[in-house]
Amino acid sequence: MSIRENVHQVIDLIKPEHILISVFDKNGLDELVKGILEVNPDARFYSTGGTGKKIIEILGPQSKKNYVSVEDFTGAPEMEGGLVKTLHPKIHAGLLAERGNPAHEEYLYKTLAEMGGSPGVYFDIFVGNLYPFTSVIAKEGTTSETARVNIDIGGPAMTMASAKNWGSVAVLTSADQYADFIKVLKNQNGRTGLEQRFKLAAQAMKSIGEYRTAIGNYFSALDFGKDVRPFLNIT
């Protein structure tokens, strides 16, 4: 494995053209989507499942122009249970790729096209919030199996990828951030700024840390024989 610092020039102001959205809580999406379209009518939104249906509803007749399903984008259908939809090189390359890096650009535009028939894109914004694990385990009668299936995998992976690459991606993790984000976007001539992206990334990293800590604490406190085994169909 090779780890190295980014040696390429970091762009301060980025126009939002490709927006990836994966949210459990869909509050505020109308405001966010329409706000982004105000600064860039050609922006394209990528999503799956229920989030995709909500975005199509918001876009209305514009959905054919401004919406792309993740399944169509990657060419890979989801696995039963809504699994592995976003765990794909086209998704994570678009979140992790460094702008201005010739090797990353070749991977996005050439390698991915050779793999799946169409090139990747740089994602400019990622919007994500997670399965409500803490709310689920707080409910009376919740079993370890119910808790297990409410562990979000793709969401934290995309959130941390975006936060790690804050030089390139703005990451939103709460509906409470949308209004201020759009306000700043409009004040910066329809661009996300480096400082704004950094602050959002720090908030995202903190939220993922808290989420994973809650999961670890919950399962570490369980007794396998009493709290886990009875809720499994063991052969």
Query: Is the pLDDT at 2 greater than 80, yes or no?
Result: no
In a domain, 11, yes or no: no
pLDDT of residue 151: 94
Tens of pLDDT, residues 60-108: 999 999 999 999 999 988 888 888 889 999 999 999 999 999 999 999 9
In a domain, 106, yes or no: yes
In a domain, 154, yes or no: yes
With helix as H, strand as E and coil as C, how does the chain read?
CCCCCCCCCCCCCECCCEEEEEECCCCCHHHHHHHHHHHCCCCEEEECHHHHHHHHHHHHHHHHHHEEEHHHHHCCCCECCCECCCCCHHHHHHHHCCCCCHHHHHHHHHHHHHHHCCCCCCCCEEEEECCCHHHHHCCCCCCHHHHHHCCCCHHHHHHHHHHHCCCCCEEECCHHHHHHHHHHHHHCCCCECHHHHHHHHHHHHHHHHHHHHHHHHHHHCCCHHHHHHHHCCCC
Which has the closest alpha carbon to 20: 77, 76, 67, 89?
Answer: 67
Domain of residue 188, residue span: 18-231
In a domain, 86, yes or no: yes
In a domain, 6, yes or no: no
> What global pTM score does this model have?
0.94
In a domain, 27, yes or no: yes
Tens of pLDDT, residues 39-48: 999 999 999 8
pLDDT of residue 1: 55
pLDDT of residue 154: 93
Provide, rounded to the nearest whole percent, the portion of the chain with pLDDT above 90: 87
Q: Indicate which CATH number applies to the domain containing 194.
A: 3.40.50.1380
pLDDT of residue 196: 96
pLDDT of residue 183: 96
Q: What is the largest CA-CA distance in the chain?
A: 61
Give me the number of domains the chain comprises.
Answer: 1
In a domain, 213, yes or no: yes
Amino acid 12 reads: D
Which of 50-59, 72-81, 132-141, 212-221 is predicted with the least confidence, judged by mean pLDDT?
Answer: 72-81
State the average pLDDT over residues 161-184.
Answer: 97
When pLDDT is cut at 50, 70 and 90, the band that residue 201 belongs to is very high
In a domain, 209, yes or no: yes
When pLDDT is cut at 50, 70 and 90, the band that residue 22 belongs to is very high
